[in-house]
Amino acid sequence: MSERTEILVFAHVGDLHLTDPRARNAVDYEAILSEIDETSGLDFVFLPGDNADHGRPEEYALVRAGLRGLRLPAHVITGDHDMEGGSLDAFYAGLGAERLPYAVTVSGTRCLFLDMCGMGTGGLDFRLGSDQIAWLERELAEAEAEARICALFMHSYPADLKAEGEAARIAEMVHRGPVRLVEMGHTHYNELANDGRTVYAACRSTGQIEEGPVGYAVAALDRGTVAWRFKEVGRSWPFVLITTPSDRRLAHAHDRPVAGDTEIRAVVLGSTEIVECVCCIDEGSWHPMLRGADERCYRARIAWPPGARRIAVRARDMAGGLDEDVVEPASTGAEPLISRGIGSDADAVGPWPEKGLLGTQLGPNRNGRQW
């Protein structure tokens, strides 16, 4: 199996809410896509819904214009604002998007894209409907039979589904199945929640920001291990994301604690040549990490000392840019992960500034403005 089939890496651009080409969010959208286009190593770009603030054709023209020059594939799903016209006709006509739901296998991961809005009456009436639920059941069963990991892309948490029984049914289906990562919009703030089997990741809105600077997330699934980090737009390259081992906050409940001979893997994104990539444990010595000509990950094998706590990976590019990512793997004797409420933000990990998580839940769905 090649490394490209072992790791999925993509960029997640938060809810756009586009209205006017001169508005700040339209300018930021173009800047984000331009920046993403500077680097290699990503599989695709994901837009999680609420693309057009009022669901109007002229707003979708702005979305489509931004994507037109992008070298990477883009996957765009629906949000409640895409339904403001009473249907999703403008969404499909304006973007030429594939009809939801649909699935693609990318770098060995089965990626499932859902529509939470088309079966509802608009606004926050999120519904999947019986046909889409049956489709999802089939996809998850087939993936499980093939021992294939899934990533699910939907506008919000399953807990926000309104049709009778849907929230509990989808939450249970995801929790018990092969879905390791669910990527979402809607919250307007960066958030990670881990129920011990599935990580839910929401990215800050691009168009209606109430916390922190504008940017986008980079997410990875490395042979089942979830990695996620937010990048502020305009922040210089390179950008480091440790993909293995898992941080304790994103670990699967059945992951073994790190011990003994340990492989460290990291993706390094940039716009110029990477001249050095090194790793260290705690305050120890820095060790070189290597990457093959056809590989995306830098890697190293080191002995994990008893009592060690953190791994840092640092990369430097040809222009002198420097970046570092840090994870804290689960240790022997750590308390097992027990969910406080599957399919919801009950398992939110809270503040994690190094990853771009402020833990404020500052947005219209919790503590923010009513846009």
Residue 2 has pLDDT above 50, yes or no: no
- Six-digit token pair at 51? 């693309």
H or E element in which residue 47 lies: strand 44-47
How far is it, in rounded angstroms, from Cα 363 to Cα 198? 23
pTM, 2 dp = 0.96
Q: Which residues pair with 181 in a beta bridge?
A: 151, 199
pLDDT recorded at residue 88: 97
Contact 100, 77 (CB under 8 A): yes
How far is it, in rounded angstroms, from Cα 2 to Cα 329? 25
Residue 312 has pLDDT above 90, yes or no: yes
Residue 367 has pLDDT above 60, yes or no: yes
Interaxial angle between packed helices 57-68 and 24-36, expressed in degrees from 0 to 180 and rounded to the nearest 10: 30
Contact 216, 32 (CB under 8 A): yes
CA nearest to 221, candidates 178, 277, 274? 178
Q: How confident is the model at residue 360 (pLDDT cuts 50, 70, 90)?
A: very high
Q: What is the mean pLDDT of residues 300-319?
A: 95
Q: What is the mean pLDDT of residues 29-53?
A: 97
Q: What is the mean pLDDT of residues 38-49?
A: 96
Helix, strand, coil percentages for the chain (3-state, nearest 5): 20, 30, 50
Assess whether the previous peptide bond of 57 is cis (omega < 30° from 0): no
In angstroms, what CA-CA distances link 255 with 10, 85, 331? Answer: 23, 46, 11
pLDDT recorded at residue 293: 85
Q: How confident is the model at residue 294 (pLDDT cuts 50, 70, 90)?
A: confident
- Six-digit token pair at 123? 């606004």
Contact 223, 365 (CB under 8 A): no
Q: What is the mean pLDDT of residues 322-341?
A: 86
> For 67-88, how does the pLDDT look when each residue is reduced to its tens digit (9 = 90+)?
998 999 999 999 999 999 999 9
How far is it, in rounded angstroms, from Cα 116 to Cα 106? 22
Contact 325, 242 (CB under 8 A): yes
pLDDT recorded at residue 228: 98
What are the start-end ranges of the E strands in 131-259?
150-153, 179-184, 191-194, 199-202, 215-222, 225-232, 239-244
pLDDT recorded at residue 81: 96
pLDDT recorded at residue 332: 64
Contact 101, 71 (CB under 8 A): no
H or E element in which residue 300 lies: strand 297-304
pLDDT recorded at residue 4: 55
Q: Which domains does the chain have, with CATH numbers?
A: 3-235 (3.60.21.10), 248-327 (2.60.40.650)
How far is it, in rounded angstroms, from Cα 160 to Cα 177? 20
Chain mean position to CA 362: 19
> For 220-241, how does the pLDDT look when each residue is reduced to its tens digit (9 = 90+)?
999 999 999 999 999 999 999 9
Q: Residue 228: what residue type? A: W
The Cβ-side half-sphere exposure at 119, using a 13 Å CA radius, reads: 17
B/e letters for 301-310, b = 16+ CB within 10 Å, e = fewer, are ebebeeebee
Q: How many C-beta neighbours within 10 Å does residue 346 have?
A: 13
- Pick left, alpha or beta for residue 364 (phi over 0 → left; psi -120 to 50 → alpha; otherwise beta): alpha
| Range scoring the smallest mean pLDDT among 132-146, 248-262, 345-359 | 248-262
**370, exposed or middle or buried, with CB in 10 Å at 0-12, 13-18, 19+?**
exposed
Q: Residue 273: what residue type? A: E
How far is it, in rounded angstroms, from Cα 228 to Cα 247? 10
Q: Residue 138 in 3-state DSSP?
A: helix
Average pLDDT value over all residues in the chain: 95
- Six-digit token pair at 331? 């240790």
How far is it, in rounded angstroms, from Cα 294 to Cα 313? 20
pLDDT recorded at residue 139: 98
